[in-house]
Every structure is written in C-alpha cells, then in structure tokens.
C-alpha cells in the first residue's frame, strides 16, 4: 500500500490541505483523465484556486451551498474543488432527479447557485412550483442560452488562498433516498472523505501510481471516493462518461487501468456478453464490487482474471466492513480497524452471534462518519440515537466476526446501484387523479438487487391505463424509480387501523395479473 496515505496529520485531513500536500509530492503526475481533459496534480491545485476565485466573484462564501447537476466531466470536479477551496459546500444532484424530489433538494439545501447541463436546466424548468427556492443564479454547462441563466465561467488567471477549512467542516451534502419520507441530505465532512479514501485504498491494496478507472457517476459516493483514493495514493483517476457493457473492457485496456469499480447488476450484465479478446487483455487485478451476488464472484474472476472485493459502507458511514485475506463466500467481511460494529434488536440490545439484527456502527476517528442530516435534526437524532449510527440494515454476524447482509429493515428499494424512496414514488402515483391508494415495494430482479413494483387501487369509477401511468411518472421522478411492475387491485392488505401491510405485498410478489413494463416493450425516456 502507498506510504503517502499515512502521512496526513489530523489537521491536514481537508481537501485543500490534501491537494497542497500531494501537489508538492507529485506535481507532474497525472491525477485526472476525463474525456479530453487531463490534469496533473499541479493543474488540480491551480483549478481549485482559480475556481475558488470565480465562485467568490459570484458572491459565494464559506458555508454557502452550490447545487451541481452534472455528469462525468471535468466541470463537476472544477466546481467541487473550487467550493472546497473557499469553504463552500457542494450539493451533487443525481442527474436523473425530477419533480418534487429536485425541488426538495434545492429547498432543503438552501443552494444559492445551481450549476447544470442542459438536462438539469430542463428539470429545473419543469418544476411545477419554484416559489420560495433560494436560488440566486443558474450556470449552464454546454447548454443553449436561455433567460435567467449564465454560461459556466471557466477558471481564469485570478487565484485565491484557501479558506481556513477544518476536518469537521462539511465538504458535500449528498442526498440519499429515505424510506418513509423525503430524501435526507447527508452532511459529509472533509475528514470523512479522507477516511473513505484511506480505508478503501487499504482494502484494495493500492500502491503508488495506480490507475483507477470508474464508470460510475461522480454524484455518487462510490465515484467521489475514488477521487480521494487516487489523490491519497498519488494515483490517476480515469472517469468514463457512463457504464457501457460493450466498451468497458476496451476502456480498461486503453487506459491501462489497475483497479476498477462495479456494482451489483453490472457483473451479470458483463457476464452475459460474448467473450472478446479484451476480457483478459487488461491489467486490472481487483474491482470494488459492493452488492454483487456471491454466486457471480468465482465465475467473474475466472473469466476476467480479476478479484472482486465486497464490503459494506453507506453515505452516512464509511467503508466499515470488508474482506481480508480470509474469504467467505456470501459474507461482506469483518469490521475494518478504526470502526466498531454491533448487531442489535429493536431495543438496541445486542443479539448473540448467528442471530439476525440491525447493524449499528461507530467510528473511532473524529469525523470519519457523516455529522447528520442537513436541516433535519429529528432524523439525525433518530439515526444516531444512543451514540450509534443505525444503518437500517438487517445482518447476521458469525462467531468469527464475519457479517452477512440479509435485507433492509425498512421499506427501501435498491435498483442498479440507486437507492429509491418508496415514499417519493408513492407521492407521485397518488397525485394522479385516477389513483386512490398506492403502495410501492421491491421485488427481485433477474439480474441483481431489486425492481420497483406498485400495487394500486383506482378511484371509484376511474379507468387506469398502465402505459399512461408510466408516462405520467416519467417527468416527475428519476427514470430508475418509475415502477417496472404495476398491479391494479380492488383493495390492499391492511391492518385494522388502515395501514397497508407491505410485507404481504412483498410475499405475494409478481402474479399473473401483474403488468410488466419491459414485457410490454415500453422504454423510458432518460
């Protein structure tokens, strides 16, 4: 493992300090490759200084929030580094977010500036209610001129000094889908990203001068964390625009990557493709692969010649559980040094090994976890009650300390690497004039993870067409959240006081009466 990663003093665990230190060490090394953009470490530092100046001229100050709705391109990191440099806070927004969820993120974060590509601007225009949003300026990236927007200002020659940022200061607010309410903005401090990068680099056994390639979106924790792995180890991060099964192996070969990143559904998709000369022509020895079903590991490694590393982490926590030299099929691994884990019942009491319970976590190092949910003190207290972070995930720990994921305790859905709030999907469905009751829940996918299903009771006398309902959903939610399966029912199973019993719907699953969007040949607009 890189020796550089161990040299950051506690006060130096901020992004500006990390940039300055690594620039002194490796000024001419390549830090980033994104399309036609190539940054040396010295270029990244200057970008932070220059973009910080641009943001200050625009009126941004320490603590201000900047909403960023942008794909995998250099401008994303320009804004991110510039904000970090002056102490402002980046709010990355999933580029697929639409409707009420987008409005909630902008309102809850209090973002003063919105930076977006054309699709993000369209999503902003499409909001049914923009009253009360705190936005003061909108910058467009490679988008046609339109009223109320300004072109993205490229960094110039003006440079500013770094703000006196502290390790516990918030670097980014990352919105994660809730289960029974609106998305929560996770306040991620500078030091959390340091520890994310450090622990992941250690588990991946990254050395100096590696080439890390990601096809995952920069607005997700996984890809943002990859940037810190590269920065801390003196390595190069290659950012591809998106995942392409047909182009994945060629990209690894072209960039001479040594490590990469895959999520649950990517692995069976890659395995389903015909073999090519690129399958083993790469230099990649390991891939971070959270959520990949255990049955695929051996097959993938044998065919493609790289090891898959499973593990556990969340936006609120860190890379806290991982596999070491001792492999256990189906296990996430053991707790990583620097963290403590418990498995507890509904009363927060420990359960014995072999007994399922909720995973509770605690960090040994300051600011290695998120500091709470922005503007949601009640949700923060609930999640961190009794001084332990409650993950909402049900696991079992064996006598040797290996953890196995079982399921989610709450009504959460995870599809193709995206967390989906059943509540937010239900609110859109219930806004349709012909829908009386809606319940959204996960069903198993043929690939991995979940598919979204909705059970719906139409209003009396109303007719509902599944295709029309899908088209109603499209502009109001992210494409990946639009239900694949719909079933219209006369009534939903409920308790005596009227609460829908979703566990019965999950047990019932897909039936002969269930409408399948994919089987019907309906394609979503993205």
pLDDT in tens, 53-77: 999 999 999 999 999 999 999 999 9
| H or E segment and range at residue 247 | none
Does residue 427 carry a pLDDT above 90? no
Which residue from 313, 303, 312, 309 is spatially nearest to 282, judged by alpha carbons?
A: 303
Q: List domains and CATH numbers for the chain.
A: 4-192+199-240 (3.40.50.980), 311-408 (2.30.38.10), 415-516 (3.30.300.30)
Confidence category of residue 265, pLDDT binned at 50, 70, 90:
confident
Give the pLDDT confidence of 339-353 residue by residue, as tens digits.
999 999 999 999 999
- The Cα-based distances of 221 to 174, 224, 261, 301, 304 in angstroms read 8, 5, 12, 25, 26
The average confidence (pLDDT) of the chain is 90
Q: What is the pTM of this model?
A: 0.84
What pLDDT band is residue 507 in, cutting at 50, 70 and 90? confident
- Tell me the C-alpha to C-alpha distance, in Å, between residue 317 and each of 16, 176, 203: 22, 13, 16
* pLDDT exceeds 80 at position 180: no
Of 28-42, 355-369, 453-467, the range with the lowest mean pLDDT is: 453-467
- Mean pLDDT within 498-523: 85
Q: Are 21 and 90 in contact (CB under 8 A)?
A: no
Q: What is the mean pLDDT of residues 231-259?
A: 95
Query: What pLDDT sits at residue 501?
Result: 77
Q: What is the mean pLDDT of residues 314-328?
A: 82
Helix axes 41-57, 74-86, angle to 10 degrees: 70
Q: What percent of the chain has pLDDT over 70?
A: 95
Q: Does residue 2 carry a pLDDT above 60?
A: no
Selected residue with higher pLDDT from 1 and 419: 419
Mean predicted confidence (pLDDT) in 437-454: 82
- How confident is the model at residue 204, as a pLDDT? 93
Residue 179 has pLDDT above 60, yes or no: no
The tens digit of pLDDT for each residue in 481-496 reads 899 999 999 888 876 5
* Over residues 237-244, mean pLDDT: 96
Residue 177's nearest CA partner among 449, 415, 357, 388 is: 415
pLDDT at 277: 82
Grade residue 498 by pLDDT with cuts at 50, 70 and 90.
low
Residue-wise pLDDT tens digits, 118-166: 999 999 999 977 888 999 999 999 988 999 999 999 899 999 999 999 9
422-430 and 99-109 helices, crossing angle to 10°: 120
| Rounded alpha-carbon distances, angstroms, from residue 64 to 77, 94, 164, 189, 239 | 17, 20, 15, 14, 27
- The one-character DSSP state at 89 is E
Residues 358-417 have pLDDT tens digits of 999 999 999 999 999 999 999 999 999 999 999 988 889 999 999 988 777 766 677 776
For residue 417, what pLDDT is reported?
67
pLDDT tens profile 283-318: 999 999 887 777 788 889 999 999 998 888 889 999
Q: Can you tell me the mean pLDDT for 221-238? A: 96
> 276 pLDDT exceeds 90?
no
Does the pLDDT at position 324 exceed 70? no
pLDDT band at 450 (very low <50, low <70, confident <90, very high): confident
What pLDDT, on a 0 to 100 scale, did the predictor assign at position 326? 67
């Amino acid at each position: 493992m890189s020796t550089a990663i161990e040299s950051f003093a506690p006060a130096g665990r901020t992004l500006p300090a990390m940039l300055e230190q690594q620039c002194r060490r490796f000024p001419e090394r390549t830090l980033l490759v994104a399309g036609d953009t190539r940054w040396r470490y010295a270029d990244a530092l200057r970008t932070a200084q220059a973009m910080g100046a641009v943001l200050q001229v625009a009126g941004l100050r320490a603590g201000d929030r900047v909403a960023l709705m942008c794909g995998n391109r250099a401008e994303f990191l320009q804004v991110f580094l510039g904000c970090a440099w002056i102490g402002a806070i980046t709010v990355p927004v999933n580029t697929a977010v639409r409707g009420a969820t987008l409005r909630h993120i902008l309102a809850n974060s209090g973002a003063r500036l919105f930076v977006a590509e054309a699709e993000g601007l369209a999503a902003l225009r499409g909001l049914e209610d923009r009253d009360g949003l705190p936005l003061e300026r909108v910058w467009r990236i490679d988008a046609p001129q339109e009223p109320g927007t300004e072109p993205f200002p490229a960094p110039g020659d003006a440079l500013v000094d770094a703000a006196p940022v502290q390790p516990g200061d918030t670097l980014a607010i990352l919105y994660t889908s809730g289960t029974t309410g609106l998305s929560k903005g996770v306040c991620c401090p500078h030091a959390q990203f340091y520890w994310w990068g450090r622990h992941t680099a250690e588990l991946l056994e990254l050395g100096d001068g590696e080439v890390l390639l990601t096809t995952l979106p920069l607005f997700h924790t996984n890809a943002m964390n990859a940037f810190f792995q590269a920065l801390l180890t003196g390595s190069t991060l290659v950012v591809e625009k998106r995942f392409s099964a047909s182009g994945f192996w060629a990209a690894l070969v072209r960039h001479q990557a040594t490590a990469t990143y895959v999520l649950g559904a990517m692995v069976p998709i890659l395995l389903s493709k015909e073999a090519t000369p690129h399958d083993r022509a790469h230099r990649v020895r390991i891939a971070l692969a959270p959520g990949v079903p255990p049955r695929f590991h051996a097959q993938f490694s044998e065919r493609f010649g790289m090891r898959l590393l499973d593990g556990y982490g969340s936006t609120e926590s860190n890379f806290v559980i991982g596999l070491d030299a001792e492999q256990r099929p189906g296990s996430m691994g053991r707790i990583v040094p620097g963290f403590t884990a418990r498995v507890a019942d509904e009363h927060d009491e420990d359960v014995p090994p072999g007994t399922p319970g909720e995973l509770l976590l605690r960090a040994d190092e300051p600011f290695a976890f998120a500091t709470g949910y922005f503007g949601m003190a009640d949700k923060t207290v609930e999640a961190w009650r009794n001084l332990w972070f409650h993950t909402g995930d049900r696991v079992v720990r064996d006598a040797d300390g290996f953890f196995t994921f079982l399921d989610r305790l709450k009504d959460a859905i995870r599809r193709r690497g995206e967390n989906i709030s059943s509540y937010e999907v239900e609110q859109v469905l219930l806004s349709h004039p012909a829908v009386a009751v809606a319940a959204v829940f996960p069903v198993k996918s043929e690939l991995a993870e979940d598919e979204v299903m909705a059970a719906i009771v139409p209003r009396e006398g109303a007719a509902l067409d599944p295709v029309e309902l899908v088209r109603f959903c499209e502009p109001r939610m992210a494409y990946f959240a639009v239900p694949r399966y719909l079933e219209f029912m006369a009534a939903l199973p409920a308790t005596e006081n009227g609460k829908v019993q979703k566990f019965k719907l999950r047990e019932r699953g897909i039936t002969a009466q269930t409408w399948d969007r994919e089987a019907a040949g309906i394609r979503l607009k993205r």
